[in-house]
Structures are given as structure tokens and as C-alpha cells.
Structure 1
């Protein structure tokens, strides 16, 4: 699916109270090898999340190098690096696009259980995500993107976050 169509479908799901303030964007570096690119989310005019292929590849190289410095063989160094990148929310642009496309047919529960923090964050600002669920949601331990989007949604909906959550 073309990025413009995917973006429209994703944007159409954002709650009305936030739809005009949240933007999702993507760019491709046409002159780079394999046309790598970047994905980012803004709230207002401020960038709150950014991920892309070049960032992923450079971070992967650094983590593998660090693992190799501790004596890990090359294959093991890569095997140890992938969970580190996933925990940091560093991912390839193609992976983000694939997950965004798949999220269009997922329920809120499936989106909240997804390994990708972009999908979990978009679940929290999804129009299908009700106020009662918002009041009960506990973002502690979640990726910073999910926590930020949760805070923005609570403010927009006039919902007081649960006692257990971040304020």
C-alpha cells in the first residue's frame, strides 16, 4: 500500500480530540542505497518519536561492535543485539510500515499486545479506545512514546490518569 493511503487510514483512526495535533510522517532518502528512510510522529509541531533505517543500521553496528568487544562471536553478537534494539524502539522503516498496515485489521487488544511501541501508542490514541479503558490503563514500563501519547490523550479527553500511572 502506498504511504499516502496508509497514512490516511492510520490518521482516520486517531481520536477526534487529538486528530488535528498528531501527525505521522515518513521520508525516503532516494539517493541512499535501497532508498532507506525515516518515520516520525509529531504532536503539535514537536517531534515525539523518530525511527528509521539508517538509525537502525548504525545502532545495530554499534551494539554488535560492543558485543564483539566483550568476546562474543559475530553470530552471537548479532543475536544479542536484536533484543536490545527492540527494547529501545529502534526499528527499520520497512518494519514500521508492515506493522502499521497490519494494525489496520487488528483489534485494540491486539494492538496493545504488539511488540512495536508505535502500534501500542497508536492504540492508546485510537478512537475505539474508550475513556474507561483510558482511566484504567497503566503506562508504567511502557516505551516513552506510549507514555507520551497516553498523557496527551488523557489531557485531551479530560480524563484523570489512574493512580498507578504516570502523571
Structure 2
């Protein structure tokens, strides 16, 4: 599916209270190797989250180099790096697109259980996600993006959000 089609379908699911403020964007760096790119979410034009292939690959390279300097073999260095990269919130653009496309067929509950924080964040601003449920959620253990989207949605809906401590 083309990005413009995916973006429209994702945008159509955003709650009315925040739809005018949230924008999902993607770009491809045409002259980079394999036309790598970036995905970002903006709120009133300011980026609140950004990830992409180049940032992912450079972080992966730095982490494996650190692991190699600590005495790991190349295979061990990558094996140690994968869990750290998964927890970092950085993703390859292809993986991001795959997760976003798959989220279109998920229920809100399934989106909240997803390993990608962007999909979990989109669940929070999904029109199917109700105000009572929004008020009950305490996102303290969540990725900063999910926390930010939760606070933005609570503010837009006039719902008292849990304070993060």
C-alpha cells in the first residue's frame, strides 16, 4: 500500500478531538542507499516522535561496536544489540510501515498489546478508544510517545490524566 493511502486510513481513525492537531509523516531519502527514509509524528507542526532507517542503523552500528569493544564476537555483539534496539523505540522504516499497515486490522486491545510504541500510541488517539478507558489508563510504564499522546488526548477530551511520577 502506498504511504498516502496508509496515511489516510490511519488519519481517519484518529479521534475528532485531536485529529486536527496530529499529523503522520514519512519521507524517503531518494539518493541514499536503498532509499532509506524516516517516519515522524507531529503535534501542531512540532515533531513529538521520529524514527527511521538511518537512525536505527547508526544506533545499531554504535551498539554492536560497543559490544565488540567489550570483547564480544560479531555474532554475540548483534545478539546483545537486538533486545536493546527493540526497547529503544527506533525502527526501520519498512518495519514501521508493516506495523502501521497491520494495525489497520487490529482491535484497540490488540493495538495496546503491540510491541511497537507507535501502534500503542495510535491506539490511545484512536476514535474507538473511549473517555472512561482513557481516564483509567496510567501510562507510567509506557514509552514516552504513548505517555505524550495519552496526555494530549486527555487534555483535548477534558479528561483528568494520571500524573506521571
Would you call these one fold, judging by a TM-score over 0.5?
Answer: yes
- Provide the TM-score with structure 2 as the length reference: 0.98
1:53 is matched with which residue? 53
Partner deviation per Cα, 1:71-96 (whole Å, 9 max, x = no partner): 11111110111111111101100000
1:132 is matched with which residue? 132
Question: Following TM superposition, by how much is the alpha carbon of 1:140 offset from its aligned partner in structure 2, in angstroms?
Answer: 0.7
Name which of structure 1's ranges 99-108 and 76-85 shifts more when overlaid on structure 2. Answer: 76-85
1:113 is matched with which residue? 113
2:147 is matched with which residue? 147
2:164 is matched with which residue? 166
Question: Following TM superposition, by how much is the alpha carbon of 1:166 offset from its aligned partner in structure 2, in angstroms?
Answer: 2.0
1:37 is matched with which residue? 37
Structure 2 gaps of 5+ residues are none
Equivalent residue runs for 1:99-110 within 5 Å:
99-110=99-110
Distance 2:45 2:28 in 1: 21
Secondary structure of 1:140's counterpart equals helix
Question: Following TM superposition, by how much is the alpha carbon of 1:41 offset from its aligned partner in structure 2, in angstroms?
Answer: 0.3
Secondary structure of 1:115's counterpart equals coil
- Provide the TM-score with structure 1 as the length reference: 0.97
Structure 1 gaps of 5+ residues are none
Greater than 4 Å deviation, 4+ residue runs: none
